[in-house]
Amino acid sequence: MQRVNRLLRDPEFIGYMQKNKDAEKDRVYCRHDLAHALDVARVGCILKLEEKLEIGKALIYAAALLHDIGRWVQYESGVGHDTAGAALAEGLLQKHGFSADETKDILEAIGGHRSGGGNTPLGRILYRADKLSRNCVGCDAIKTCKRFLNGEEPFLQY
């Protein structure tokens, strides 16, 4: 987890998270901030343990922390934040000592986190943890949220 903690202190990572915060200052729906990223990581670790998967905790945390760093790019240019995030994450992962194979797995997970997670266990965990981590129960914006437009009720699982 030393690499993850270095990532958390990285000025570039902090800058991307600040750009997300600035872009979402008036957003009424869920935000893409550090609290969300950490929730995704923790739910991802729970899923890994429940399913007895051989995925390192540091990989889950790195993927979760980086999966939405491109959200501000989506607001500015329309490029999907999964694609933008993977591009922004690559240099950060290399800088903080993730191997080529680890980087490839994390980038694939980030790139597929909006569409089912891709073909890797890490990608599928990230996709599910991203959805399951949201605190929809008691949300003030639930009546207009796209996740509940068909009358679904929020269900707390983690």
Domain ranges of the chain: 2-148
Burial (CB < 10 A; 0-12, 13-18, 19+), residue 34, is middle
pLDDT(112) > 90: no
Render 8-74 in DSSP notation, one character per residue. Answer: HH-HHHHHHHHHHHHHTTT--S---SHHHHHHHHHHHHHHHHHTT----HHHHHHHHHHTTTTHHHH
pLDDT(6) > 80: yes
pTM of the entire predicted model: 0.93
Q: Residue 72: what pLDDT?
A: 95
Residue range 2-148 in CATH 1.10.3210.10: yes
Judge contact between 123 and 112, C-beta under 8 A.
yes
Residue pLDDT, tens place only, 80-102: 899 999 999 999 999 999 999 99
Residue pLDDT, tens place only, 45-57: 999 999 999 999 9
Higher-pLDDT residue of 112 and 123 is: 123
Q: Residue 151: what pLDDT?
A: 82
Classify residue 155 as left (phi > 0), alpha (psi -120 to 50) or beta: beta
pLDDT(142) > 80: yes
The DSSP letter of residue 113 is T
Rounded to the nearest 10 degrees, what angle do helices 34-50 and 121-132 cross at?
120
